A and B are shown apart, each in its own frame.
Chain A
Amino acid sequence: MTAADTTPKGKVGDPFSSPWRRRLPLLPALIFLILVTQLPFLVSIYYSLTNLKDKTQSLIPEPTRFVGLENYRTLLSNSFFRDAMWTSVKMTVFSVLLSLFFGTAFAMLLDRKFLGQGLVRTLLITPFLIMPVVAALIWKQQMFSSLFGLLNKALEFFGLDSVAFISDHPLASIVTVLVWQWTPFMMLIMLAGLQSQPSDILEAANVDGATSFGIFRQLTIPHLRRYLELGAGSIYIIQAFDAIDQMTGGAPGSKNVPYFVYQESIGGGFRYGSASAYAIVVVIASIVIATFALRVLSGLLKDEERA
């Protein structure tokens, strides 16, 4: 690239002048993502309008044909699907809110000097680094299990009746594991937020005789708002599949929509056509939530531009 090429306004008429040169570094990543995520999604939409099944998995293979909106009509009347939707909502809301709450509280505890501060932070982030499958197994076998579980040993010690945690409270058990793993992640985000507070303003407030509660409410909370939103946005990287698969295997009350769709298709049902219709409904639901999340994000980016 010569100095002449780097002028902001490229030569008009030449397709490889500045604007395209600028876009070029972007293309490999964009094309890759379109091929691996968007294209399969379009194929999914097509599948959802057919009766596609895995031919090797059925005794009398049916020819694949176009069925229009048939799959969508039947899914609305499927009560298992409605249950799964409701489970998804509860699982997501509880795990995100609780881990945000604990993450914020722990970040505030860690954002002050005390003996062994670094060590405590190290202890706290460890669950986030653990393989989710292992986390689920640890909790299932070591904590919740009625055979070896420490929780039941503790109940027994205090003379209380034992509880079949996973079979009687499948949703709460899974949420516990998710919260245990994702609280450290939220804590890291909130710590970054607390540490980025301009210290001169805090000092000024201190000098002016503001109470610590007053500083917290008037300065810290508004400052942390964006970080809280960022934390809530990680809804999209929290995966419950591993925990459900290892702990309950999708027992009633703990089956969220992705797991339901999984069981309908590659997890045993092999009805790709109708399962795709379920998946598309999940996508529509996510888009509704995502529109909201995007608005938050665009707010963040606009602020940045102004700054």
Chain B
Amino acid sequence: MIGRRGGTGTTLGVGERRIGKISLGLLAWVVGLVWIFPVAWTVLTSFKTEQDASAQTLSHGLSFERYHEVSSSTEGTLSLATALSNSVFVVLLSTAIVMLLAIPAAYALAIRAVPKWRDVLFFFISTKFLPVVASIFPIYVYAEKWNLIGTRTILVVLYTAMNLPLAVWMTRSFFMEVPRELIEAAEIDGTKLINQLRSVILPIAAPGIAATALLCIIFAWNEYFYAIQLNFASGSTMPQWVIGNVDTRGNFLAKLSAASVIACLPVVVAGWLAQKRMIRGLSMGAIK
């Protein structure tokens, strides 16, 4: 089930250019609609009744009923309010720490580069080459020993480690775009490092830093493996709340869809608003 590639023109005659252009535009639309279809269908399902959802029909009308059902908590299950506050706490705190660590590191790699900066950058990236399974048992064993299982603390620590390499890499490349003359001028003026960062570098690199932070937020918000392994108790986050709506008995499709929409909406909207910046950020400005 992957996009259809029409046979529209690869060899365009001069006269056919207009038609070719229009049909390529149409093809882009088709591709876009195919890709969004599962999401759009889920949004539609979230407004249906359970009977309609299971039968994939629409005869009982649409309503916000399912949203009301999933957001009102049942005794003894993970409530939306708990999961949401845990997620917001873990995601914002870990992203803040990531940026606090990444910005000085990126400074030392880009603007006043340390000797052998390339090796250091490699080290940062290479921690991503290490599969999660290679370090999870010791983390699990020690988290248990130190009573960190089921706390938000352990997730903050792990999400920081998960996003830090990417953040260093991206922030560094945005710092590379700051004109050298500006930095040199500030250095001659004897401006302190912290003031250099604040008055010269950060204003220029701000859009890039925002894109970096947003990517960290997306990855942390959506993270499931650590969350389910180390945090099944009161510290549960949004992904766990969503799968809590899968029911082995009875119809649950409409409710699950409503829960999915609630869980994804914040990050999806943020991503939509920042998409242009993300394009630049993902290319990592490094290759200019």
Contact = CB atoms under 8 A, between A and B. Distances in A.
A293 B129 contact: yes
B135 A189 contact: no
A36 B24 contact: no
A112 B193 CA distance: 43
B164 A141 contact: no
A130 B39 contact: yes
A141 B242 CA distance: 14
B275 A122 contact: yes
Interface string A221-259: 000001100100000110101100110000000000110
B278 A188 contact: yes
Interface stretch (B2-10, B61-69, B199-207): B2-10
B147 to A, nearest CB: 15
A158 interface: no
A188 B282 contact: yes
Contacts of A257: 133
A37 B238 CA distance: 25
Interface in A262-277: 262, 265-266, 272, 275-276
A137 B114 contact: no
B127 interface: yes
B193 A283 contact: no
A106 B279 CA distance: 14
B32 A237 contact: no
Contact of A36 (B158, B229, B286): B158
A148 B257 CA distance: 13
Given A37-B161, A106-B31, A143 B256 contact: no
Nearest to B268: A129
A192 B279 contact: yes
A75 B122 CA distance: 31
Given A241-B224, A242-B224, A294-B122, A133 B239 contact: yes
Among B114, B242, B288, the one with the most A-chain Cβ atoms within 10 Å of its Cβ is B114
Contact of A226 (B54, B136, B137, B287): B287
Nearest to A172: B1
B130 A283 contact: yes
Contact of B35 (A29, A127, A193): A127
A176 interface: yes
Nearest to A152: B56
B164 A33 contact: yes
B101 A258 contact: no
Nearest to A186: B282
A1 interface: yes
B132 A153 contact: no
Contact of B108 (A23, A110, A147, A153): A23
Contacts of B1: 143, 151, 176
Given A33-B127, A133-B242, A142-B45, A110 B28 contact: yes
B161 A239 contact: no
B195 to A, nearest CB: 10
Question: Which 9 pairs show the lowest CB-CB distances between chains A and B?
Answer: A192-B283, A114-B25, A25-B104, A40-B135, A43-B138, A120-B32, A29-B105, A40-B138, A129-B271
Interface of B: 1-3, 5, 10-12, 21-22, 24-25, 27-29, 31-33, 35-36, 38-39, 41-42, 45, 53-56, 101-102, 104-105, 107-109, 112-115, 118, 120-142, 157-158, 160-161, 164-166, 168, 187-188, 190, 192-193, 218-219, 221-222, 224-225, 228-229, 238-239, 242-243, 246, 253, 256-257, 260, 263-264, 267-268, 271-272, 275, 278-280, 282-284, 286-288
16 contacts: A1-B192, A3-B190, A6-B187, A22-B114, A122-B275, A126-B271, A130-B222, A143-B1, A148-B55, A153-B56, A188-B275, A196-B283, A227-B283, A276-B137, A279-B136, A297-B125
